[in-house]
Structure 1
């Protein structure tokens, strides 16, 4: 009897040790609400909308201690519609992220799979829309800098350094997986610094022949990129460069932020920013955007947060040029640590030859202004 008890105790100890060395966490977000738009393709509209503050998702993340300061790490993250239950990101099972790697206490982390690029990692959280007091509608026109995650990167190998006094850097390369090494490949690099009230970030991204002729196996799959039907001047570019830098600084309950991003869509096969869905008259050829943003976030209480941001975007294509001005404001109230409600308002005005089109609204305005209001609820688990 004594031997049996000792054996049972030993087995229990081993099971506890194995459990302590590895872990898997289930997590997720559900976000849905309503959106009013004064001019959505020529008509005012009320719509049931979802993924307003953050994309609805569920996922698994895990680690296994391999000993000697080395761990196996992974993350599988699914995106779905909270209104219909349908898969997002082109119907992928784990369309938001799917990667596996090794993390070392001495040398940093190496991961392989479908991942976010350096601009999304280090710069996107600094935008006013990244505060979550404001919805995705607060990001920049047409998501030209991809900080609203229009696309993710497949076939990617990423190295991330350890954090040294709040400083961290990464570099990523994504393979084309085609017969031509240079077709539909991507790379990025960036760095960030977080220390006390200060957060800084900067990054650069370059894509070569993204979504090449309907390619679905390269670094940027054609079904998870800018829409060729509505924005061929972005979707059919031979090269894409995107860059940015910014920072936030917290002063008591207030956080101020400044951000600059830019993008260059080289030699699109067809389409003009200043014709069709987004405008009339203007140039052809490569499209360049420059975005400047100033923001203020304020915590009135631990449960009540507000944010306001002003964004200016200058766009050029050949002889054509135009501007977007957008004001975004909103409040967020936490009913608990995991559940909050929000109310946001947006106003955008453009210069001549451009139609207003607030990011994430279903269709552009038929005029040079657009107004939207969003309300909803978000729950984290």
Structure 2
């Protein structure tokens, strides 16, 4: 259940889905083919349990759909519909993925893609083995268009270093003509739209970011910075800088509490957009009834300047500069 203080001028109480984890089911498999090498695959469907509909624009396996090979000494090579390097590495540092905050703790409009507004199709990804705590990865998504190799393609690189309680991550992604065709690397039904954000008519999209996390016994604190630029087809660009700090504390083995704060600076050199600032605070808690089932409660508060407030994941913006969202629910894993 989700309460929103203002959606286009009215408050709303709604039955919502996927507030903490998008509902999903799927298949994973591996086959040992010798010499330390395994063939691996993942097929993962996203669905709305409120009406049974498939998510990701109706795709049967819209969350992930890939096959590949892996070897402990040489790493993994996978092919299909996958997450890029920014999503693979930086997601672990954001408030929305730290276990007790969920969807509404993401940066406004999900500009850095960490809430998986898009995925990379027709992609080839290499992920290295862990060497002295370091993992690197790179992805290239093809346009699959004869005569249009550079149209609607994407590539990304990223790295993670983990050493005991310390984790450090950095990543970069570039999307050329994203959403311009239905069958390219970033499909037109799998990208930003004015139905869910202010972003549209994108010529090129660049994302880079980095941060780190440190664990103190039952508590973890994380810092994350992402910088996003959208070049607009009609000229100029729209730029977002997101600064985030978040933390979580496992008070008991069954009780988790968390908090996250994001400051977003929006600047524009396109006449279609304006400059704006957003402050967002999210507080949440989980109680684990078992290893597979938990209940949760969270509150997100956003204050905007120069724009209407619009918390990521809510269906419509506020009619003014502030918006409050409270959500409660149950999650079951099987």
Please report the TM-score for the alignment, with normalisation by the length of structure 1.
Answer: 0.85
Aligned to 2:225: 260
Aligned to 1:225: 191
Q: Give 1:229 deviation, angstroms.
A: 4.8
1:203 aligns with 2:171: yes
Query: 286-295 vs 243-252, which deviates more?
Result: 243-252
| Deviant stretches of 4+, over 2 Å | 228-231
Matched, 1:351 2:305: yes
Aligned residue in 1 for 2:281: 327
Q: Is the 8 A contact 2:196 2:315 kept in 1?
A: no
Q: Which has the larger radius of gyration?
A: 1
Question: Any gaps of 5 or more consecutive residues in structure 2?
Answer: none
**Cα offset for 1:195?**
2.5
| 2:330 alignment partner in structure 1 | 377
Q: Does 2:31 align with 1:64?
A: yes
* CA displacement at 1:265 relative to structure 2: 0.3
After superposition, give the CA deviation of every residue in 1:58-92 in whole Å (9 maximum; x if it has no partner): 01111100001111011000000011110000100
Cα distance in 1 for residues equivalent to 2:280 and 2:264 = 9
Give the C-alpha shift of residue 373 in structure 1.
0.2
> Could you tell me which residue of structure 2 aligns to residue 291 of structure 1?
242
Q: Which residue of 1 aligns with 2:12?
A: 45
Q: For residue 321 of structure 2, what is the aligned residue in structure 1?
A: 368
Please point out which of 29, 49, 56 is paired with 1:89: 56
CA contact (8 A) 2:27 2:44 kept: yes
- When the two chains are superposed, the root-mean-square deviation of aligned CA atoms in Å is 1.2
Mapped partners of 2:200, 2:60: distance in 1: 24
Task: Give the conservation status (yes or no) of the 8 Å contact 1:54–1:132.
Answer: no
The answer (yes or no) to whether the contact 2:196–2:316 under 8 Å persists in 1 is no
Q: Give matches, 1:17-32, under 5 Å.
A: none
Q: With structure 2 as the length reference, what TM-score do the two structures score?
A: 0.96
Residue-pair matches, total: 330
Structure 1 unmatched runs, 5+: 1-33, 270-283
* Aligned-partner SS, 2:16: strand
Q: Which residue number corresponds to residue 10 of structure 1?
A: none
